[in-house]
Chain A
């Protein structure tokens, strides 16, 4: 099966707290990509990161960091010292070969609310 699970529907924290968004995936592919996108209220998807299945190194970009663990099929996203502008819906996605095309399999999304 090709599936992405974001079990957290909504998370609410106070500004400056750290927050981790969980993503668990299932795939039959040996080579695949994982993605995180941010969708602010405007609706436009903002690309955050792409991770190749062969690269298990953790990634840090400013206040954002990602923990990729193939052993647990997880690709979690942490925001350090959260800010109100981080409020958005965050989607985790998996690229999968479906009907001869690489498609994105989407998680349900996690709505993140950062309170001032």
Chain B
């Protein structure tokens, strides 16, 4: 089955630094990748949708200058949290669509737990 990896699985960083999270589709080419944020005891909140080779589409309320998304290849998307602050601490999950599979199917990475001190 389709596998999506995320790296790192957890990261602790100091306030003011930037953190990059990688999302890779391992056995398929993902034309579209999604980035979610999940607060404790809450559902997944879509942050942005990225299509390979084009700019990401951000959801309302998500700061594009703080959460930089790059989808430079069909197997890799990155999320960079710039100048991180404690309120950016959260669980970040990426997913990828395999265009050869059914409409709406997304394959999820294991998530990255970010803690900003």
Contact = CB atoms under 8 A, between A and B. Distances in A.
- The SS class assigned to the A binding surface is strand
Interface residues of A, number: 25
Interface string B38-61: 100111101001010000010000
A32 B104 contact: yes
**Interface size range on B against A:** 20 to 34
Interface in A65-104: 91, 95-96, 99, 101-104
B43 A45 contact: no
B43 A108 contact: yes
B103 A33 contact: yes
A44 B43 contact: no
A52 B10 CA distance: 35
Interface of A: 31-33, 35, 37, 42-45, 47, 50, 52, 91, 95-96, 99, 101-104, 106-109, 111
